[in-house]
Amino acid sequence: MTPAEPTKPNEPLLPTHAVPPSTLGTMKPDGTRIKMHPADVKGKWMTRRRVVFAVLIVFYIVMPLIEIGGKPAIQLDAAARRFYLFGATFNAQDFWMVLLLVLGFAFGLLALTAWRGRVWCGWACPQTVFLEGIYRPIEQFFEGGREQRIKLDAAPWTAKKFGLRAAKYAVYLFISLNIAQAAAAIFVGPRKLLSMIMEGPSAHSTAFFLVMGFTAVLMFNFTWFREQFCVVLCPYGRLQSVLHDKDSITVSYFEKRGEPRGKVAKAPAAAPKGDCVDCNRCVVVCPTGIDIRNGLQMECLACLQCVDACDDVMHKLKRPPELIGFASHHELIGNKRTVMRPRLAVYGALMLLSLGTLGFSLATRTPFESNVIRTKGSNPFVLDGDAIRNPFEIHLVNKNPETSKFHLSISAPVPIEVVLGTPDVELASLADTRVPAMVTIRKEHVKGPLQLTIEITDSHSGEVKRQPLQFLSPMSVGR
């Protein structure tokens, strides 16, 4: 390998020594599954990860169960066609904002993957957060470390093994039930969920079976399926190969420093020796069972457990840390790290555009909407002797989180006669109504185009909106 040699277009995304494994790290050559028992690991990345997990567990489980300002913190109320986010209330007409949020998140994920690899998977995906932050620690509590768990798996069914497994699965069931209920709260809201629980399954049999069904899915996933979700099922995992490029900074083994690998005691003193002592610690801590020394592989979740494990080994050997660390393919072969490249710029710009538009829309969002609708099926103006009449409707939507009263009035620079269906309207949050209106002006005052002003005052927010409306007449239509 020539260190500074630029890569060729078809060069594989692997260090030159690496032999891509012919099977998944969780699979034997005959296709049967290897049950993963990752060893416990301590280190700076694991500590940071635990903090991130704690924050996200609160976010994923607690947020759907609480209210902010009397409204659900997170609720997608499909029946009422409205949704709540951190105390703000949105209706079906605001759905484009959800689209912007989803687009911003999706482009952000693409940018993150192109920049840092699959960090979402190892740090923030609910699958990992729940597995590594809740279910795995519970397993370790009941069944011990990796060696004890492997022994327990192989052991015959004794009263002790049965007791340990029963206790573990009972706690799993309790956790799964609570996660399923938090998921249900996303659709029904925390208050309704509580009342449904109090009223019992017979009063809400459909909801009950849905929660039980989701609990069963969670049990299947977190007791048995586990890393297979990330390795064989998740579509984002499949996408990462096309999102990466040779400048993506991923978890990497520094081959030049590590090779030739060899056991500390067995290596002859004179033999050239790399820093890797072939202890296999980086492999046994890996939740997807891969050997990162074979280069970046599809199953790598960027969890950094192998980095902590190897740093610990290096520390004990009094060697510098980060034999496994972050590097791009170009860095591994001796080229410079290039951070900004076209794909990252495009993904980043699209993310900023989506989130920027969303932020601007939220900042300028009005507490109510109003539109003037010319009355369907009737003439836009009516000639009645020496007067001209304009019938129309004022459509109002209350976007406040609470019920509000609206006062309507219509004015013009000339004398007018106004008949309003009701000048004061009370609307519940997200309710709407149409108020019929008729404006009459004597012909002698209509010399040409004339503008009316519709004024709407919202008592909840105090906002006053003045909306112009052209008064239609033979004089304005002809122009």
Which chain residues interact with ligand SF4 by CB under 6 A? 251, 253, 258, 276-282, 285-288, 290, 292-293, 300-306, 309-310, 313, 323-324
Distance CA 426, CA 396 (A): 10
Tokens 């906002």 correspond to what residue?
463
Distance CA 131, CA 138 (A): 10
CB of 103 to ligand SF4, least distance (A): 28
- Minimum CB separation from ligand SF4 for residue 269, in Å? 19
**Residue 278 carries which side chain, given as an amino acid letter?**
D
d(Cα 398, Cα 416) in Å, to the nearest integer?
28
89 or 305: whose CB is closer to ligand SF4? 305
Q: Which is nearer to ligand SF4, 134 or 309 (CB)?
A: 309
What would the two tokens of residue 229 be? 């979700």
Is 74 or 313 the residue whose CB approaches ligand SF4 more closely? 313
d(CA 313, CA 39): 14
DSSP code of 361? H
> Residue 467 — φ and ψ, nearest 5°?
-115, 125
Nearest distance from residue 251's CB to ligand SF4, in Å? 4
Which residue, 281 or 399, has its beta carbon nearer to ligand SF4?
A: 281
- Using the minimum distance from each CB to ligand SF4, give the nearer residue, 293 or 389: 293
CB of 300 to ligand SF4, least distance (A): 3
Selection from 316, 370, 283, 273 nearest residue 38 by Cα: 283
| Of residues 82 and 136, the one with the C-beta less far from ligand SF4 | 136
Smallest gap from residue 241 Cβ to ligand SF4 (A): 15
Judge whether 368 and 398 are in contact, CB under 8 Å.
yes
Helices (H), 341-473: 342-363
Tally Cβ neighbours within 10 Å of residue 146.
16
Minimum distance of ligand SF4 from residue 287's CB (angstroms): 6
Alpha helices for 340-429 (secondary structure H):
342-363
- Please say which residue, 324 or 441, places its beta carbon nearer to ligand SF4: 324
Nearest to 98 by CA among 346, 349, 355, 347: 355
From the CB of 257, what's the least distance to ligand SF4, in Å?
A: 10
**Residue 391, CA distances (Å) to 19, 289, 409 in order:** 79, 73, 15
* 176 token code pair: 């799964």
Closest CA to 321 of 313, 330, 329, 331: 313
Question: Which amino acid would we find at residue 365?
Answer: R
CB of 308 to ligand SF4, least distance (A): 9
CA proximity to 279, closest of 306, 257, 244, 302 = 306
Q: How far is the CB of 348 from ligand SF4 (least distance, A)?
A: 24
What's the closest the beta carbon of residue 327 comes to ligand SF4, in angstroms? 13
Measure the CA–CA gap between 184 and 178, rounded to whole angstroms: 10
- Nearer to ligand SF4 by C-beta: 74 or 285? 285
In the complex with ligand SF4, the residue whose CB is nearer, 243 or 410, is 243
Give CA–CA dist 110/183, Å, rounded: 26
Report the residue number, 56 or 314, with the smaller CB distance to ligand SF4.
314
Q: How far is the CB of 209 from ligand SF4 (least distance, A)?
A: 36
Residue 77 backbone phi and psi in degrees, to 5:
-90, 90
Q: Which is nearer to ligand SF4, 77 or 299 (CB)?
A: 299
Give the whole-angstrom CA distance, residue 37 versus residue 14: 26
What contacts 464, CB < 8 A, 6 or more positions away? 455, 456, 457, 458
